[in-house]
Amino acid sequence: MRTLADALAHARRNHARASAVIDGEQRFDYAQLTERCRRLALGLRSLGLAQGDRVAILAANGHRYLEAFCGIPSGGMIAVPLNTRLAEAELKAVLRDSGARVLLTDRDPGGLATCVERVIAMPHEYEELLATARDAPAVELIENEVAALFYTGGTTGAPKGVMLTHRNLIANSFHKAVACSLGASDVFLAAPAMFHVAGIAPLLSLVWLGGCTVTLPSFDAAGCLDLIERRKITVAMPVPTMVAALVAEQQRAPRDVSSLRMLGHAAHATFPRAELAQFYGATETASIVTCLRNEHRLIGTALLGTCGQATPGVAVKIVRGDGSECEPEEVGEITIRGPNVTPGYWRNDAATAAAIEGGWYRSGDLGLLKSDGHLFVVDRLKDMIVSGGENVYSIEVENVLYRHAAVHEAAVFGVPDPKWGEAVHAVVVVDAARATNRAALVEELKAFCRASIAGYKVPKQIELSVEPLPKSGPGKIMKRLLRARRAG
């Protein structure tokens, strides 16, 4: 049972009447969800699409997104989730690179319509396609066939199409189920964007298990907390920037969140009943690699800051530049091997060869492993700063800045310096009230850093902002844009 079609068939047989998805006031059980997925696949095939053809999705979170992501690959086609935050020119580039023939969308496609053969508008044309779908012979699927293309790389450069096979996605769904102890009684809040693998992949675990997904069109802290209270959400996995907003909103207007048994990332004081979990992963690993449970218990221990141990079925190794394996606690590049690891990048042999070596995915992240297998992520390889011959890990500096009460967001990166080669530069988001005396606050932040880290790691310049930092779809701060903005 290694394809998305297998997951849907299992759900139809084993928990047909269990609630599958709640989208606003609409509720579908697994019998209804799997039938809608089947009819979508049949409808697309009736348009002339064949096995291996690409179908793009540009839409907000909702039951139709889940249907499309499951139904398209189950019909032998390839789903191409599109980042709704991209500009039209960037979306056109993705459509052309993927060769998508059809676009499913809940918005005006504008110029994107010129890049595909057919646009299917949600909800009306989409529902009409399902209603008029006719039966056709089943498509034979192979687990190593590509099921989805996720375009990534927006924080560092031009996006690349990460190929995820049926096997990759199904393996990850099992890893997620084990790591989070998911079960049929769980109600999962789908708040992160479904166009990102971390937003959609956990939902496949629930399909296998008979759990329920509650969708939110786009992230909104108040809306999330309202849904947690109303729908008795048990599991939520927001990204760190979302967690900060949830904490602030819950402190402002507390809701009953007692149903929440697991929450991604640290927020113990605000959500004391929820078990806190930390993950490490990538689009190329579909998505999780390591998991840490009960994160708050590590405060004051040598394991504070770890993102956990490898999930069952996944191997993690730290390597030097020459490919040799590092000793325990030696910093090197994080590499990953497992059934969840991508076979490579869509029509990009050079990028594939650079990233996949002997079945191991080279993450581009720097990290270290303790002797017991706990992984610490130190920095992005490209974000490491070499100042005066010393290595400075931007994450270490950012973590110190985040501990200052005035700091809401922080991004640290290297800038050219005639004396040191690179100088440590920080962009910090603060409240407008704190930014009135910028010089004093900058000196305060530098002194705060000096109390915790070596002088060469302290930012030479700290740029204050009252506006949120630019972020990618998954919520990662886009340092590439900050560097470009500073360079003018």
Q: Report the C-alpha gap between 118 and 46 in whole angstroms.
A: 13
> What is the rounded distance in angstroms from the CA atom of residue 459 to the CA atom of residue 455?
9
Amino acid 189: pLDDT:
98
* Intervals of CATH 3.40.50.12780 along the chain: 4-215
156 pLDDT higher than 70:
no
Q: H helices of 86-214, where?
A: 88-98, 124-132, 166-179, 197-209
Mean pLDDT of 100-117: 98
List Cα–Cα distances, 429 to 178, 247, 395, in angstroms: 37, 17, 16
Nearest to 184 by CA among 313, 18, 332: 18
Give CATH 3.30.300.30 domain extents, the chain. Answer: 384-487
For domain 384-487, the question of CATH label 2.60.120.10 is answered with no
Residue 22 has pLDDT above 80, yes or no: yes
pTM as predicted:
0.88
State mean pLDDT over 41-50: 97
Is the pLDDT at 474 greater than 90? The verdict is: no
Among candidate residues 251, 249, 294, the one with its CA nearest the CA of residue 269? 251
Residue 153 is predicted with a pLDDT of 54
How large is the average pLDDT for residues 418-430?
93
Residue 15 has phi, psi (to 5 degrees) of -150, 55
Of 301 and 328, the one with more pLDDT: 328
Mean pLDDT of all residues in 388-396: 88
At 262-317, the pLDDT tens digits run 998 767 788 988 998 889 999 999 999 999 987 667 666 778 789 999 999 999 99
Antiparallel, parallel or unpaired: β 409-417 and 19-23: unpaired
Q: What is the β-pairing status of strands 315-319 and 287-293?
A: unpaired
CATH number 3.30.470.30 is the correct assignment for the domain at 4-215:
no
CA dist list (Å): 175 to 271, 279, 320, 338, 344 = 25, 12, 27, 11, 20
Per-residue pLDDT band at 45 (split at 50, 70, 90)? very high
The mean per-residue pLDDT over the stretch 309-326 comes to 96
User: What is the DSSP secondary structure assignment for residue 325, as one 8-state letter?
Assistant: B
* pLDDT > 70? residue 106: yes
The amino acid at 342: T
pLDDT of residue 154: 44
